[in-house]
Amino acid sequence: MEDKVHADIVQVIEGCRQNKRASQHRLYAMFYNYAMSIARRYTGNSETSEEVVNDSFFKVFTKIHLYSGEQPFRLWLRRVIINTAIDRLRSSLSTPPMLALQPWHDAESDSGIVESLTRDQIFAMLDQLPPAYRTVFNLFVVDGFAHEEIAGMLEINVGTSKSNLARARQHLKSILSEDFEFSRKP
């Protein structure tokens, strides 16, 4: 079964290299949900996620010749989506907003709350983070990049990457404690 799926992907990619619309449509359909799940983590809203996904697939279709096949296509596509989302973030950060850090509480004392969060609740909390914090959080925690790699991708200092991650965690703890404050009431 897995060999058939791999063969299908190889055939679709070859069609994309030949600029066949049917192959492009098929590739888009095959990986749309995967692409949206990645873009959604970085953008903070569905509309921008859709734009990032469409921009990413445009890049894929125009640069498919750069895909060597040495790694799974899914990983190559993931990198294109992340880079597209980061490019979008860079263009929107020309005037960074001034945000005051909120005091945070120890949300770890609320046992069981984190485990009971739904995917939508987690996205809602991530959406409340400033874009720079959300991006570093996703790159480090979700996608597993090192701070040195993040610094290179975002063109920031390693210390800034570490600081943004720490502040993202503080914000998330604050959001978590505010949203679930009712659980501490007798």
Could you give the domains of the chain? Answer: 2-92 (1.10.1740.10), 107-184 (1.10.10.10)
Q: What is the mean pLDDT of residues 6-30?
A: 94
**First and final C-alpha spacing in the chain:** 54
pLDDT in tens, 152-176: 988 889 999 999 999 999 988 888 8
pLDDT at 176: 81
- Cα separation, 175 vs 177, in Å, equals 6
pLDDT in tens, 31-89: 999 999 999 999 888 899 999 999 999 999 999 999 998 999 999 999 999 999 999 88
pTM of model > 0.75: no
* Planar angle of CA 65, 71, 75, nearest 5 degrees: 90
Q: What is the mean pLDDT of the chain?
A: 83
